[in-house]
Amino acid sequence: MTGTDVLLGLQWGDEGKGKVVDVLTPHYDIIARFQGGPNAGHTLEFNNIKHVLHTIPSGIFREGTMNLIGNGVVIDPVIFKKEIENLKQFDLNIKELLRVSKKTHLILPTHRILDAASEQAKGKKKIGSTLKGIGPTYMDKTGRNGLRVGDIYTSNFKQRYDLLVEKHKAMLARFDFDYDLSEYEEAWFEAIEVLKEIPAVDSEHYVDQAQKEGKKILAEGAQGTLLDIDFGTYPYVTSSNTITAGTCTGLGIAPNKINDVIGIFKAYCTRVGSGPFPTELHDETGEEMRKEGHEFGATTGRPRRCGWIDLPALKYAIMINGVTKLAMMKADVLSIFESIQVCTHYDYQGELIDFLPYDLEDPSLKPVYKELPGWKDIDLTGMNSMNEIPENLNNYIEFLEKELNTPITIVSVGPNRNQTILREEILA
């Protein structure tokens, strides 16, 4: 089928989106990022290479596929330049493989400073932002002050930049926050020149034309559903729509052009930054998960909070996104446990519920678990078919599929491209 498929995270980000997009890229003509910015860190591993992408779509390593940075993305030219430089070692023809929307918003040096100042002022209530300037940039977008990639080609770009920076300086004066703009600003304008080397397109027409030609598009999400600005654990969220609807606004794709929605989740659960996390483990078990899963942020290096899988949260994410297929990641990490806990319900204000209540921070809320036997000490990382996997993992998968009422079509058993079990003849 032609049209657009979507791949996005169902938890709090870092589910393994980069890996799965890379695996699926050969089935698509275009990989398009639709939201987020360099707060994202998408890891790809193949041929003894481990690479982390922040702004550039995860299809970049496969020849013959175009990569598009959509209008819903926010781009920091300095980080983008670094990403391009890091890719030089792979001998890719980036100018041929990458396009950026003219409507993509720019992260200014002062957006980053405002992010840091705002987080500092929040004290204990801080979001745990990646400090990449995401919130302030989207604020300027919706406040109708922002600068976009298309603006860098206009003759009065510097004046418009200066005007916005003046506004930001006035805002910064209200914070007790020291900053030095000059050094970062120089690097920013240098990086704008690198950005100019990447063809800027009217991306809504670009994807429309591609669809008319029968090309297949995979929209790559950043962050995860529970970090969505509307439906996530507000205010501990990011500033964009991370859900399927974000594909429509972030690329200019009509809702009726979307086919499959591939929802990706870890066989357990992680979160980085602040905010509620009902199944979080503060004990030895959580520590073991973090160690075995190498759960440290790909962008910030911060340790990720770890806990058991949360089905009420996953059901919510599947509903909001219209998920048609699931990808379960990091099953191999659970091989260290005798048994696996699955949160099937919450005990909330004396009632048993299986949905996300408005206030996830309500102190009465407690996860209710079902225990399933594990596949302890069985190494999954060399397995590549469902015939090889242990019975208890198969039972785990079947249990989740039944609870979630959605097929798990991809099971990932290691970080490498090859460590992926496809449970159906994949796509198209």
Residues that are catalytic = 14, 42
8, 22, 41, 317: which one binds ligand IMO (CB under 6 A): 41
Contacting range for Mg ion; rule: CB under 5 A; set: 34-42, 85-93, 248-256, 396-404: 34-42
- Find which of ligand IMO, ligand GDP, Mg ion, none residue 128 binds, CB within 5 to 8 Å per kind: ligand IMO
Which residues sit at the interface with ligand GDP, rule CB under 6 A?
9, 13-19, 40-43, 45, 294, 298, 329-330, 332-333, 412-415
Q: Which does 16 bind (CB under 5 to 8 A by kind): ligand IMO, ligand GDP, Mg ion, none?
A: ligand GDP
Return the ∠ at Cα 405 (arms to 399 and 409), rounded to 5°: 75
Q: How far is the CB of 188 from ligand GDP (least distance, A)?
A: 25
Beta partners for residue 106, in sequence order:
75
Q: Of 17, 102, 100, 105, give the one whose Cα is nearest residue 66.
A: 100
> What angle (nearest 5°) sits at the alpha carbon of residue 202, between those of residues 133 and 218?
75
**Helix, strand, or coil here: 177?**
coil
CB of 25 to ligand GDP, least distance (A): 14
Contact 29, 216 (CB under 8 A): yes
Name the residue with tokens 């929040």: 122
| Residue 329 binding ligand IMO, by CB under 6 A | no
Cis peptide before 235 (omega within 30 of 0): yes
Q: If binding is defined by CB under 6 A, does position 57 make contact with ligand IMO?
A: no
- For residues 123 to 142, the per-residue mask of contacts with ligand IMO, x marking binding by CB under 6 A and - elsewhere, is ----xxxx-x-xx-------
Q: Could you tell me the CA-to-CA distances from 195 to 82, 104, 185, 188, 252 in Å, in that order? A: 11, 12, 15, 10, 22
Cβ proximity of 53 and 59 under 8 Å: no
Q: How many helices (H) and strands (E) does the chain have?
A: 12, 20
Cβ 273 to ligand GDP, closest distance in Å? 13
Among 39, 104, 110, 225, binds ligand IMO (CB under 6 A): 39
8, 11, 14, 367: residue in contact with Mg ion (rule CB under 5 A): 14
Cβ-based nearer residue to ligand GDP, 70 or 252: 70
Closest approach, Cβ 43 to ligand IMO, in A, equals 8
Q: Which stretch binds Mg ion (CB under 5 A): 38-46, 56-64, 161-169, 244-252?
A: 38-46
Q: How far apart are CB 255 and ligand GDP at their closest, in Å?
A: 24
> How far apart, in whole angstroms, are the C-alpha atoms of residue 289 and residue 336?
8
Q: Hey, what are 169's tokens?
A: 């300086």
Which one of residues 30, 298, 397, 400 is an interface residue with Mg ion (CB under 5 A)? 298
Q: What does 134 interact with, of Mg ion, ligand GDP, ligand IMO, none (CB < 5 to 8 A by kind)?
A: ligand IMO
Comparison of 77 and 273: residue with beta carbon closer to ligand IMO? 273
Buried b (16+ CB within 10 A) or exposed e, 142-165: eeeebbbbbbbeeeebeeebeebb
For tokens 């970090």, the residue is 227
- Footprint of ligand IMO (CB under 6 A): 9, 12-14, 36, 39-42, 127-130, 132, 134-135, 222-224, 227, 238, 272-273, 298
